[in-house]
Amino acid sequence: MIIRDTYLKRMIDAKDTELIKVITGVRRSGKSTLLLMFKEYLIKNDISTDNIIYINFESAIYDDIKDYKDLYKFVASKIKQGKMYLLLDEVQNVTDWEKAVNSFKVDFDIDIYITGSNAYLLSSELSTLLSGRYIEIKIYPLSFKEYLIFNNYDKNNLEEKFNEYLKYGGLPAITLIKDNSDLVLSYLDDIYNTIVKKDIIDRNNIKDTALLENIIRYLSNNIGSPISTTKISNYLNSNKITTNSNHQTVDNYLNMLEKSFIVYKVERTDIKSKALLKTLGKYYICDTGIRNIILGFRNINEGHLLENVVYLELLRRGYRVNIGKSGFYEVDFVAENPNVIKYYQVTQTLSDDKVKQREIRSLENISDNYEKIILTMDKTINNDFNGIKVINIIDWLLKKE
């Protein structure tokens, strides 16, 4: 296993605190592997295997654990003297699991780590029973930097490798099969279908699966474009894709998609007042390979797909991300953490003067002194326009903040 240091460090930093560690992310993004990495870390740091309880609920070994009572009995039977470490993988497969977790914290000296592949994990009773007593660790598919490491790539021909990353995405298993395009297509298709079926259709008892899949295709085809539920509904109805679409149904389906982590919604905010704007948010896909399997492998280097990569990277770096509105102008991303604010524009090239002026103007219109950056695929750059930095996207992805 190749260590994903950023995520492992977050788990280590939270070790032995009273907080329950909840690891979330789209299926096959590496949650189970991260949990095993943490188990190895514990063992290497002199924690006895007798004091580590690891359960993967996708294994048939644990099929008899069906509800919280079964889970409580099983874990209680494994408790030894001293501090215990409980690692529960895909725990949402156990009915009312949160009741058992709550009891563990009361009854035992135990440090708890759980993973799940959808946000229902945190919208369940866990939020009520353990309010203020858990921390979410969000895991994403591989960054471009991780993609190079996992493939043992050097830093030659980086643009070619970046195009490969855009095409196949960053799900870790892709690095094992990327030389066989048929296997890659089959794997991505299987992951997509599993997410749609298990995390959305089965969980929500959806009958109109065609409508759901058409909404997913619409979002995938409109990455980074302003979207409203009315806009989606009108498009589907006017193009006779469906006659069952309405504002409320689309809104419900969008919420389900977000909870499965297959898409992320980005809200718009007024830069000056800091107020969230209620209309025309944007959507990004969890992984470019998933997007490409939905639409077909075409236009993989288009500007909106580059936006998708930048958005996910900002999340990995710990930023809260919104779209910025400043007067009549819009900024692709406003990235904030407790210490800093940064403004980003993303464009494939600045070679067209109209594009250059548009991107610069949007940032120049912001009156504060926070860092303003344009990210582009242009190579001959590293220019500075009135304090606005212009950076090659690949260079930015590989640099350490």
pLDDT in tens, the chain (401 residues): 688 999 999 999 999 999 999 999 999 999 999 999 999 999 999 999 999 999 999 999 999 999 999 999 999 999 999 999 999 999 988 988 888 998 998 999 999 999 988 777 776 556 666 667 889 999 999 999 999 999 999 989 999 999 999 999 999 999 999 999 999 999 999 999 999 998 899 989 998 899 999 999 999 999 999 999 999 998 888 887 776 678 888 999 999 999 999 999 999 999 988 888 877 899 999 999 999 999 988 766 688 999 999 999 999 999 999 999 988 899 999 999 999 999 999 999 999 999 999 999 999 999 899 999 999 999 866 678 888 999 999 999 999 87
Structure tokens at 301: 């280097």
Q: Report the DSSP beta bridge partners of residue 138.
A: 24
Nearest to 391 by CA among 369, 376, 370, 380: 376
Sheet with 134-138, strands from edge to edge, namely 52-56, 84-89, 110-116, 20-24, 134-138
Task: For domain 144-398, give the fold.
Answer: Arc Repressor Mutant, subunit A (1.10.10)
CATH class of this structure's domain 5-138: alpha beta
Quote the pLDDT of residue 118: 77
Query: Two tokens at 55?
Result: 């359960």
Q: How far is CA 118 from CA 19, 186, 259, 262, in A?
A: 20, 23, 5, 9
> Could you tell me where in the chain the CATH 1.10.10.10 domains are found?
144-398
Please report the pLDDT score of residue 376 as a whole number: 95
Q: What is the model's pLDDT at position 130?
A: 66
pLDDT value, residue 127:
63
Tokens linked to 79: 């408790």
Span(s) in the chain for CATH 3.40.50.300: 5-138
pLDDT at res. 4: 92
